[in-house]
Amino acid sequence: MRKDDFPLLKNRKIVYLDSAATSQKPSIVIEAMNDFYTRYNSNVHRGVYSISEEATLEYEKAREKVAEFINALPSEIIFTRGTTESLNLLAYSLIDDLKENDEILLSEMEHHSNLVPWQQLAKKNNIKLKFIHINKNGQLDFDPNLINNKTKIVSLVHVSNVLGTINDIKKIAKEAHDKGALFILDGAQSVGHMKIDVKDLDVDFLAFSSHKMLGPMGIGVLYGKSDLLETMNPFLYGGDMIKQVSLYETRFNDVPWKFEAGTPNVASVIGLKKAIEYINEIGIDDIEKHNRKLVKYTVEKLKKLGIKVYGTPKLNVISFNIDGMHPHDVSSLLNQNRICIRGGHMCCMPLMKKLSVNGVCRVSFNLYNEKKDVDELIKALNEILILAEKNGIAV
Ligand SMILES: Cc1ncc(COP(=O)(O)O)c(C=O)c1O
């Protein structure tokens, strides 16, 4: 699907299977950023001269585009550096509303960025962390009794970056709301890969990263329901997030600018807008179908080789291991065939523990991947298996 739109994939003879770490970028994204730097590079919300007004207009148009993409209002879109920063913003802003012995519910399949911030702040404020376990199929084993009147926050990943599981967010968000808790969604692996409608899912907050959805690095989004953002404290303080400052007092800016202190990453915001336009042009449903088909095809092929696949991958991501071989060794051997996959703990150490492994090999897709890429991977893995057998490594 339109591999030619991605200059890196034309310039380097590689099979890129690590899009869950970061996706490649189509030329229109790169060109839009180049255009900003060569034609109207200037700061936003400050200058009253033409190029600054142009930059501000483009920056705010991007906010509208992001809002429309997830069915939100522009004022509900905060630009951050990425999912990690969005989740940290929430942890810092919300934790002060929690009191000792209140509870936060997470799951065993969370990325460290949706675990470590809560862990650190929970420790400081004596707040209890609870976890939804996963079953042997790699799915959340959700028991509604895990949420009670002490639960103040439920924060979950949408699509697991290890197992490729799609969690039933609507059901759990409803349960959270029924018990008066807030629901936060980590959409790092779902936004840009499947249709996301924050109203339909009824999540209070959604965090995601541009660089995983064909956009540039260094920019991400935090969506939050207007009424919640209005009452929350800012996370960073400084320029642009203020309305009035005296030596001892500050009146904060309106939402969303209240949460965007300092000079933002304007070029990347403009790049993200282009990435969304590109995704819209292809069609998010077609992208999802394409990636689901590739996942199904790959899982079948891996299983035919006798390779252990973890969970029941549905979207974008498949993790596996070859018995007796470290994932780093498998990745390095694949690299000799110009195949790029990830090997390691995937920033999910607790999940690795649950799976009783130190790490996994992970293959992940985006719209530019083809069956041909999978065939090359399978061929190379077959050669690795033969080599392992020859060398007496358990396979
Ligand atoms: C599920 C999930 N959450 C959060 C993150 C963190 O994203 P970022 O590094 O862009 O902040 C990742 C990145 O791999 C992820 O896969």
Instruction: State pLDDT tens for residues 222-272.
Output: 999 999 999 999 999 999 999 999 999 999 999 999 999 999 999 999 999
Instruction: State pLDDT tens for residues 157-203.
Output: 999 999 999 999 999 999 999 999 999 999 999 999 999 999 999 99
Q: Which domains does the chain have, with CATH numbers?
A: 3-22+283-390 (3.90.1150.10), 27-281 (3.40.640.10)
What is the total residue count of the chain?
395
Q: What is the pLDDT of residue 151?
A: 98
What are the residues whose beta carbons fall under 8 Å from the beta carbon of 9, sequence distance 6 or more?
3, 16, 24, 368
Q: Answer yes or no: are the C-beta atoms of 79 and 269 closer than 8 Å.
A: yes
Phi, psi (5° rounding) for residue 24? -75, 165
- Mutation to probe ligand 1, out of 315, 347, 349, 366 (largest number of atoms < 8 A from CB): 347
Which pairing describes strands 250-252 and 242-245: parallel, antiparallel, or unpaired?
antiparallel
Q: What is the pLDDT of residue 391?
A: 85
CA of 113 to the centre of ligand 1 (A): 7
Count the helix, strand and coil residues of the chain and give each as a percent rounded to the nearest 5.
45, 15, 40
- Which residue is associated with the tokens 């979950």? 156
CA of 39 to the centre of ligand 1 (A): 32
With a Cβ cut-off of 6 Å, ligand 1 is lined by 20, 82-84, 111, 113-114, 157, 161, 186, 188-189, 209
In the three-class reduction of DSSP (H, G, I as helix; E, B as strand; rest coil), residue 104 is classed as strand
Instruction: State pLDDT tens for residues 17-57.
Output: 999 999 999 999 999 999 999 999 999 998 889 999 999 99
Which residue's CA is the closest to the ligand 1 atom numbered 15?
188
Q: Answer yes or no: are the C-beta atoms of 363 and 17 closer than 8 Å.
A: yes
pLDDT at 96 over 90: no
- Largest CA-CA distance found in the chain, in angstroms, rounded: 75
Instruction: State pLDDT tens for residues 281-291.
Output: 999 999 999 99
Q: What is the pLDDT of residue 392?
A: 81
CA of 164 to the centre of ligand 1 (A): 13
**Rounded Cα distance, 45 and 216, in Å:** 22
- Give the catalytic positions in this structure: 347
Q: What is the pLDDT of residue 394?
A: 61
**Rounded Cα distance, 313 and 319, in Å:** 8
Across 380-387, average pLDDT: 96
- Predicted TM-score (pTM) of the model is 0.97
In the three-class reduction of DSSP (H, G, I as helix; E, B as strand; rest coil), residue 222 is classed as strand
Ligand 1 nearest-atom number relative to CA 158: 1
Crossing angle, helix 284-304 and helix 371-390, to 10 degrees? Answer: 20
